[in-house]
Amino acid sequence: MAEKLVVLQNTKMSIEEETVEGTAVVETANGALLLHSDGAEFNLERDLVENAFMTGSLSKTAPAAGMWSDDLGPTIPTLIRGVGTLGTHGPDWHLLMKSLMGTELRAEAGVVDAGSTALIIQVKSGCASPAIIPGMLLYFPTQGEIRRIATYSAPAITLDIPLSSIPAEDDLIKTGVNWMLSSSDFPSFTAYTYFDGPKRLRYAGCKCTNWEATFEVGQNVPMTFASKALSALYDNTAQAITPNYDTTTKPLMCLGIDGLNMFTRYEGTASGTPSATETILATPAFDVGVGDEIQIEVSAGVWETKSISVVSGDAGSNITLTHAAVSIAASADDTVYILRGACAAVGDTLTVTVEMESEFENCMAANYGKKSQAITGRTVTLAKTPYFKSWQEFLMRDNVIGSGFMITLGDELLNIMAIYVSNQINTEVSLSTDALMKNDTTSRGVIDATLGNDHEIVIATF
């Protein structure tokens, strides 16, 4: 049984990136982290090695303190907020996300140049220091939309999904802070926690091994980082610095999310003889609803996004879509995309999880017996509860058809967070028997068809 401390409201915590894994670094004011009271845990379990000497008696001799448990480390809950007011130091949990994902990118904002389309953005200036790269998310304030970079060859950015309208010259491009997956580099950190007393707890060599965010209608969005450490130290040292907290950036709530920024994207094939206002989808495995959007390529690299007003047909058969007019109709066998709104594709609850598998490198010459911690695998999971309207979720499981997913919270700069999963595959689907009938669906992020490895998920704040 793990030994866990009760966290009081006056508990304080900070985290600092390490230069050498397992070597504790000094605490600074800008490492301060706002803990949430629900779910904080501090594992201090340690092995005791028995010394079974024969002493002429049945009494046991005292054991010796051995290695720290492989589960040693803190579980750190907080609430989702945007980049915040701490400037280059925010958000306060950024180092936890960097340790989990492996890569943190901060590029300067840019400006749109003339000649851009909804898909290909010409950059007049900015988007450097360091340069933006494929996989990053960008925020376009004029459209109020976030899109991922598919390719970048300066000065042209090709987006993964077209914007709903063409940005004008001198419109802003916000780069924010992006966290992208790595397969080789996961920084470690030192975690300091101060309890009433004073009582100090310091973990060294921490790496995040699990992150979970839960979205529920009408609630703030909690997220939890679980981590494993190489060693622990506890003493009666008072905190020597004054923490620099971000107490002005409000937690983001799962309420009133703009449909442009929360959607699931499905790939379909046009059939028959489409017109500018009517497109037939050839037996898609997914549903389409009134108010969803269709994206049609009207010329090479130029896409238009239009709202759907009438739907005739169901998943598993041809579906006829009536939509706002595009400048040039699709042709038979053309690939088109459908953006489904949040409620239809997600339901009223959503949990996103990134789980990292880790192994410790044990060494006789290392302090406490552990030299380092290696990340050996990962799983990206989405658990959601869409309402049952068709066999869509089952068909997408059976046919192993992927779809993209985007959720964005907030619409004010410095307090926006986005999560993008480019290719999710249904792995478990079941029907509930409640009054509204729901599909309890679990999906897994897999290798991205566009960018390949290390792009199952990207997370960003603006």
Q: What is the CATH number of the domain that holds 154?
A: 2.40.30.20
For 329, list phi and psi in degrees, rounded to 5.
-70, 155
> Are residues 205 and 75 part of one domain?
yes
CB crowding 329-357: b at 16 or more within 10 Å, else e: bbeeeeebbbbbbbbbbbbbbbebbbebe
Q: What is the CATH number of the domain that holds 336?
A: 2.40.30.10
| Res 262: pLDDT | 81
| Res 196: pLDDT | 85
Collapse the DSSP code of 165 into the 3-class scheme (helix H, G, I; strand E, B; otherwise coil) and give the result.
coil
In a domain, 96, yes or no: yes
> Are residues 98 and 205 part of one domain?
yes
pLDDT surpassing 80 at residue 256: no
> Are residues 365 and 431 part of one domain?
yes
Tell me the mean pLDDT in the region 237-241.
Answer: 94
Read off the pLDDT band of 72 (50, 70, 90). Answer: very high
In a domain, 183, yes or no: no
| Res 7: pLDDT | 56
| Res 307: pLDDT | 95
In a domain, 294, yes or no: yes
> Are residues 272 and 419 part of one domain?
no
In a domain, 158, yes or no: yes
pLDDT surpassing 90 at residue 223: yes
Q: Which helix (H) or strand (E) holds 396?
A: helix 392-398
pLDDT surpassing 50 at residue 146: yes
Dist CA 404 CA 240 (whole Å): 47
In a domain, 88, yes or no: yes
Q: What percent of the chain has pLDDT over 70?
A: 97
Dist CA 30 CA 133 (whole Å): 28
pLDDT surpassing 70 at residue 460: yes
In a domain, 370, yes or no: yes
In a domain, 254, yes or no: no
Read off the pLDDT band of 365 (50, 70, 90). Answer: confident
Read off the pLDDT band of 367 (50, 70, 90). Answer: confident
CA–CA distance from 251 to each of 29, 140, 296, 416 (Å)? 22, 22, 37, 10
| Res 257: pLDDT | 61
Name which of 55-64, 133-142, 417-426 the model is least confident about: 55-64
**Which residues span the domain enclosing 121?**
108-175
| Res 5: pLDDT | 52
E runs forming strands in 20-144:
32-33, 41-43, 46-49, 64-68, 73-79, 102-106, 110-112, 120-126, 137-140
Comparison of pLDDT for 208 and 254, the residue scoring more: 208
> Are residues 450 and 309 part of one domain?
no
Tell me the mean pLDDT in the region 415-434.
Answer: 93
- Given a contact cutoff of 8 angstroms between Cβ atoms, the answer to whether 414 and 85 are in contact is yes
Domain count, the chain: 4
* Cα–Cα nearest to 295, from 261, 268, 333, 332: 268
| Res 179: pLDDT | 97
Q: Which helix (H) or strand (E) holds 397?
A: helix 392-398
Read off the pLDDT band of 344 (50, 70, 90). Answer: confident
Read off the pLDDT band of 4 (50, 70, 90). Answer: low
In a domain, 257, yes or no: no
Tell me the mean pLDDT in the region 372-397.
Answer: 93
> Are residues 209 and 121 part of one domain?
no
Q: Would you say how long the chain is, in residues?
A: 462
- Given a contact cutoff of 8 angstroms between Cβ atoms, the answer to whether 347 and 331 are in contact is no
- Given a contact cutoff of 8 angstroms between Cβ atoms, the answer to whether 421 and 137 are in contact is no
Average per-residue pLDDT for the chain? 92
> Are residues 224 and 76 part of one domain?
yes
pTM exceeding the 0.85 threshold for the entire prediction: yes
| Res 168: pLDDT | 97
| Res 193: pLDDT | 96
Collapse the DSSP code of 274 into the 3-class scheme (helix H, G, I; strand E, B; otherwise coil) and give the result.
coil
Give pLDDT tens digits for 94-103: 999 999 999 9
> Are residues 98 and 220 part of one domain?
yes
Q: What angle do CA 94, 100, 256 make, to 5 degrees?
A: 60
The amino acid at 327: S
Give pLDDT tens digits for 413-422: 899 999 999 9
Q: What is the CATH number of the domain that holds 17?
A: 2.30.110
The amino acid at 212: E
> Are residues 452 and 360 part of one domain?
yes
The amino acid at 420: Y
Q: Which helix (H) or strand (E) holds 350?
A: strand 349-362
Tell me the mean pLDDT in the region 281-303.
Answer: 92
Read off the pLDDT band of 6 (50, 70, 90). Answer: low
State which of 324, 344, 364 marks the end of a domain: 344
Q: What percent of the chain has pLDDT over 90?
A: 75
> Are residues 280 and 340 part of one domain?
yes
How do beta strands 46-49 and 64-68 pair?
antiparallel
> Are residues 200 and 93 part of one domain?
yes
Q: Is the peptide bond before 155 cis (omega within 30 degrees of 0)?
A: yes
Tell me the mean pLDDT in the region 188-192.
Answer: 98
> Are residues 148 and 209 part of one domain?
no
| Res 1: pLDDT | 44
- Given a contact cutoff of 8 angstroms between Cβ atoms, the answer to whether 404 and 423 are in contact is yes
